[in-house]
Amino acid sequence: MQLTLLAAVGSLIWGTLLAAMRVGPVPLMRGFGTFYVNTVRNIPLTVIILFTSLGLNNTLGISLGSKVIDTVNFRLAVLGLIAYTSAFVCEALRSGINTVPVGQAEAARAIGLNFSQVLRLVVLPQAFRSSIGPLTNVLIALTKNTTVAAAIGVAEAATLMKEMVENEAQLIPISAVFALGFVILTLPTGLLLGWVGKKLAVKR
């Protein structure tokens, strides 16, 4: 759960910045945002998670401020999930930005607001409201994607299930319990955020 929450917050922040780059007026930043999103979305999450562990930690020695292997792996897993999920957050937000009438941004610029003010005060608040549905899907996918962190030894659901199966030798019951746990976690979240999305939807 902690892995999901930290990755979700980080992905929302980095994904929002990427979305701002992709719709921004600076060609270099717009190009970087486009390159990042298109590249990351086409790389398997397992490869990204393994890169954070083998590439950053084992090869470059980057440990994110800790020498304890379990803590290092956890932080690297969070970093990998953020790097991957933020690309999808960016696209969800960009679709929401595209629903905001151009006239509103032009009116805001006409009264003297600069690009960052227009984005922060006019565009993004409406974009978030329009993007709750897609962002919910991204959050649910992130919750399930945390199992990939087992590839670098992070003790999340997949790792715990594997250890229990090895100790108890009851594959089907234990797998069913963990599968049910994911359903219990993701289904209410999807229903709740879907309801919130309908309540906050911007009427055009």
Return the structure tokens found at 99: 């629903």
Select from 131, 147, 140 the least CA-distant residue to 8. Answer: 140
pLDDT value for 188: 73
Please give the pLDDT value at position 4: 86
Residue 2 CA from chain centroid, whole number: 14
Structural domains of the chain sorted by starting position, each given as residue range(s) with its CATH number in brackets: 2-200 (1.10.3720.10)
Q: Which candidate, 73, 86, 56, 78, places its Cα nearest to that of 152?
A: 73
Residue in 101, 85, 110 with CA at minimum distance from that of residue 16: 85
| Three-class secondary structure of residue 142 per DSSP | helix
Region of residue 43 (left: phi > 0; alpha: psi -120 to 50; beta: else): beta
CA distances from 113 to 66, 73, 160 (A): 43, 44, 52
Q: What is the largest CA-CA distance in the chain?
A: 69
Rounded to whole angstroms, the Cα distance separating 124 from 199 reads: 17
Cα separation, 17 vs 59, in Å, equals 29
The pLDDT value given to residue 83? 94
pLDDT per residue of the chain (204 residues) written in tens, 0 to 9? 788 899 999 999 999 999 999 998 899 999 999 999 999 999 999 889 888 877 666 655 555 555 545 577 788 889 999 999 999 999 999 999 988 888 888 898 888 888 889 999 899 988 988 888 889 999 988 988 888 876 565 545 555 555 555 555 566 666 666 667 667 767 777 777 776 766 666 555
The pLDDT of residue 7 is 92
- Provide the pLDDT for residue 53: 75
**Per-residue confidence (pLDDT) for residue 50, from 0 to 100:** 84
- Which pLDDT value is given to residue 61? 55
